Amino acid sequence: MEFKHKPVLLNESIEGLNIKKDGIYVDGTLGGAGHSKEILRNLSDKGILIGIDRDEEALKAAKHNLSEFKNVKYIHGNHDDIKEILEDIGIEKVDGILLDLGVSSYQLDERNRGFSYLGENELDMRMDKNQTLTAKTIVNTYKEEDLANIIYEYGEEKFSRSIAKNICIYRKQKEIETTKELVEIIENSIQKSKQNGGHPAKKTFQAIRIEVNNEIKPLEKTIADCIDVLAPEGRLCVITFHSLEDRAVKNAFNKAKGICTCPKDLPYCVCGAKELGKVVNKKPIIASKEEQEENTRSKSAKLRIFEKIV
């Protein structure tokens, strides 16, 4: 299947990176390379792009899509490990980093990956097929309370306890193996009159996908690491697609701004707040009305930009 992925907030991201033509840039979520191609068009032959993705199929597609460019380094890895990745290839500082978080259109469309709640496919949801944890493992082995908490926290699903309870009842009879089985359990856990605002399984599938790929827990540290490896005046652009991601990015940016988090009654700061840079846009940038009409994925997208000063 062709790796098609329409880059969200493309022009805004490129403008946000403030690209230096001879600079070094990182696309930490390479995907179909839509953003990367535009970055490369703004670089000279002396500039370098480092493309990172945990999905080997995405890397193959990106190499094909970027075949006209010779100044690209492709890395199979996780952007959470950006400091180690750059150290391994002998790069200390970079001029810009882009993170386009979440699942790609290709991964959703490639039904046998198990990301989609449409059709009947194996419960997988791994972005990196080399890892062992899958959606099937989670729904069949996690405790009811843990399942409920994950579905509520990562999916913001108010029927999380009912869904978790019915998952555990079902799996006592047989292992849950397919996306269709899970969808049916979810649908039977929510009253028909309450099934509004999109597909009833959407939030639960999002929650399980986030747990499988550990998308939230390391995020604040990842943002801090990205800022750490930026050169002075370097910029970090992060595109998020739901409130938990956006909140983590906002918190990490605020810490990097040097905002003191000490109780107000303390006579002096003990939290070690240090100003590393500035937030370029106080409010997140959202897609234009035209883009939202052309690409439904862009409707929930938010772009935040940080510039290093030290």
Pairing outcome for strands 277-279 and 24-27: unpaired
> Measuring CA to CA, which residue among 65, 57, 75 is closest to residue 1?
57
Cα 299 from Cα 310, distance rounded (Å)? 34
Residue 24 in contact with residue 46, Cβ under 8 Å? no
Per-residue tens of pLDDT for the chain, all 310 residues: 455 567 999 999 999 999 999 999 999 999 989 999 999 999 999 999 999 999 999 999 999 999 999 999 999 999 999 999 999 999 999 999 999 997 766 666 666 789 989 989 999 999 999 999 999 999 999 999 999 999 999 999 999 999 999 999 999 999 999 999 999 999 999 998 888 878 999 999 999 999 999 999 999 999 999 999 999 999 999 999 999 999 999 999 999 998 777 788 888 888 777 889 999 998 999 999 999 999 988 999 999 999 999 7
pTM of the model: 0.89
Pairing outcome for strands 302-308 and 230-240: antiparallel
The domains located in the chain, with CATH, are 10-102+216-308 (3.40.50.150), 117-213 (1.10.150.170)
* Type and span of the H or E element at 304: strand 302-308
β-bridge mates for residue 48, sequence order: 24
Residue 170 in contact with residue 176, Cβ under 8 Å? yes
Tokens 């399942």, residue located? 147
